[in-house]
Amino acid sequence: MNDYSDAASARSREEAKRLLLDAYRFRHAVKDFDAERKLAAEDFEFILEAGRLSPSSYGFEPWKFVVVQNPELRDVIAPHAGGARRQLASASHVILVLARLPREMVADSDYISYMLHDVQRLPSDIADMKRRTYDTFLRTGFALQNNERAMFEWACRQTYLALGNMMTAAAMLGIDSCPMEGFVKHELERALTEAGLMDAERFGLACMAAFGYRAGEASVKTRRAIDEVVEWR
């Protein structure tokens, strides 16, 4: 037990479940936000913190979040993002969720050295061991190393954990969101690079997320039944 789990036991578990399920039911993919309603700065910081604290494979955080508030820069994105156009025009805050390219994520990259030594602060013998284990994972465990796209998608998969946590954090505050993949990847990446929004030597675009307050009613939420989704053996 630690301080957090002690506190969780002490407070009402039913209350915690209710709050979280209410947030999941409240969250829906908003197309049109109320353009007049902006998020409070501290609320958006909380959302970003939920992203920053998200888990990642080996703790290597293969993401970067670029917040695009300048309307002119959103206009750079819109022509290449048909599925996100309405959100780009109306959301209070928009995040580009970038994923690190394979050259950044291979075991002998400067970025992995930085993570092992400067962020995780591992003693050098432990860092070396972790780097070797990670290298084996990339080469044989997940067999990613020789497949650029597979390795990039693996980094993207991890960014979606941060995406989910940010949307849940927002929903807990009654803030709406929309995850967005409705773009032409190679076109938008080129436009982002030309506009100075993405360093194409190090990153690719995984997805985008919009935050704000909904304009109008939520769409009806449909989900398969739990016994269709879950199998017990």
Ligand X SMILES: Cc1cc2nc3c(=O)[nH]c(=O)nc-3n(C[C@H](O)[C@H](O)[C@H](O)COP(=O)(O)O)c2cc1C
Binding site for ligand X (CB under 6 A): 28-29, 31, 83-84, 178-182, 207, 219, 221
- Identity of the residue, 8 or 21, whose beta carbon is nearer to ligand X in the bound complex: 21
Pick from 105, 93, 97: nearest CA to 189: 97
Residue number of the CB atom closest to ligand X: 182
Sheet of strand 176-180: strand arrangement? 63-67, 93-100, 203-212, 176-180
- Identity of the residue, 135 or 181, whose beta carbon is nearer to ligand X in the bound complex: 181
CB of 180 to ligand X, least distance (A): 4
Residue 107 and residue 140: Cα distance in Å, rounded?
A: 13
- Identity of the residue, 28 or 38, whose beta carbon is nearer to ligand X in the bound complex: 28
Tokens of 228: 């269709």
User: Quick check: helix, strand or coil at residue 230?
Assistant: coil
CB of 134 to ligand X, least distance (A): 27
CB of 81 to ligand X, least distance (A): 7
User: Quick check: helix, strand or coil at residue 158?
Assistant: helix
- Identity of the residue, 59 or 216, whose beta carbon is nearer to ligand X in the bound complex: 216
Compute how many other C-beta atoms are within 10 angstroms of the C-beta atom of residue 217.
7
Pick from 181, 184, 177: nearest CA to 207: 181
CB of 11 to ligand X, least distance (A): 28
